[in-house]
């Protein structure tokens, strides 16, 4: 597959956008948690966005396998799906939390739950610029930069997707209590 070199001005603009998005997305998500829209029941969303996380984790692993097998087009398709699923997750997660009160974990493994939850939240913030820059480097044909940053972005993204499912499994028994 031949990579077409992109316009340096476009790449510069995208880099600036990535920095802006990496700042705005966590701030917007935090701010939206303060907004509660009454009389809308989106209680069906947590298992859906947990499934989105699980699917993302699986597709990330398949994307890794695809690139190891030199199936670049398949790798690109899988990563594009992961990007789309991550956006879908974010929208559904925010929608749920704008319409529902937070659920409190009341199980015996509270310390474990909090460790997983806090590391998940912090790394979900950290992963944004890593994933976006990694994607930009691939898109712009800067494959060596892409490979180097992937070594950081991939395990963090996989951790965030996987722990999202674990957090859901741990908190699910306490929904509606």
Whether residue 51 lies inside any domain: the answer is yes
- Binning the chain into helix, strand and coil, the percentages to the nearest 5 are 80, 0, 20
Does 98 reside within a domain? yes
- The answer to whether position 126 is within a domain reads yes
108 domain-assigned: yes
- State the greatest distance between any 2 C-alpha atoms of the chain, in Å, as a whole number: 56
Tens of pLDDT, residue by residue over 68-96, are 999 999 999 999 999 999 999 999 999 99
In a domain, 5, yes or no: no
The token pair that represents 59 in the structure block: 């597709």
Maximum mean pLDDT: which of 6-15, 26-35, 158-167: 158-167
Confidence of residue 5 (pLDDT cuts 50, 70, 90): low
The continuous run of DSSP H or E covering 100 comes out as none
54-64 confidence digits (pLDDT tens) = 999 999 999 99
The two structure tokens encoding residue 31: 């701010």
Q: Is residue 80 part of a domain?
A: yes
95 found inside a domain: yes
Task: Express as a percent the part of the chain with pLDDT over 70.
Answer: 97
- pLDDT for 1 beyond 60: no
Of 49, 171, 27, the C-alpha closest to 112 is: 171
| SS3 (DSSP) at 37 | coil
For residue 28, give both structure tokens. Answer: 């917007």
Please give the tally of structural domains in the chain: 1
CA distances from 99 to 41, 45, 53, 70, 90 (A): 7, 11, 20, 44, 14
Q: In a 3-state reduction of DSSP, which class is residue 109?
A: coil
Domain extent, residue 112, equals: 43-174
- Give the Cα-Cα-Cα angle 11, 62, 74 (nearest 5 degrees): 55
Confirm whether 117 is domain-assigned. yes
Mean pLDDT over 113-136 rounds to: 97
**Using CB atoms within 10 A of its CB, is residue 96 exposed (0-12), middle (13-18) or buried (19+)?**
middle
Q: Token digits for 114?
A: 């909090």
């Amino acid at each position: 597959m031949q990579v077409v070199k992109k316009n340096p001005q476009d790449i510069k603009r995208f880099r600036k956008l990535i920095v802006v998005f990496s700042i705005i997305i966590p701030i917007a998500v935090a701010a939206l948690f303060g907004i509660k829209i009454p009389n809308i029941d989106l209680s069906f969303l947590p298992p859906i966005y947990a499934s989105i996380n699980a699917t993302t984790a699986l597709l990330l692993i398949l994307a890794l396998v695809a690139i190891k097998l030199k199936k670049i087009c398949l790798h690109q398709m899988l990563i594009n799906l992961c990007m789309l699923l991550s956006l879908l997750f974010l929208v559904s997660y925010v929608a749920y939390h704008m319409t529902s009160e937070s659920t409190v974990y009341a199980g015996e493994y509270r310390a474990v739950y909090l460790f997983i939850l806090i590391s998940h939240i912090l790394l979900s913030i950290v992963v944004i610029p890593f994933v976006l820059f990694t994607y930009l480097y691939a898109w712009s044909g800067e494959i060596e930069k892409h490979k180097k940053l992937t070594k950081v972005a991939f395990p963090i993204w996989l951790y965030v997707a996987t722990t999202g499912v674990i957090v859901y499994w741990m908190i699910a028994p306490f929904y509606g209590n």
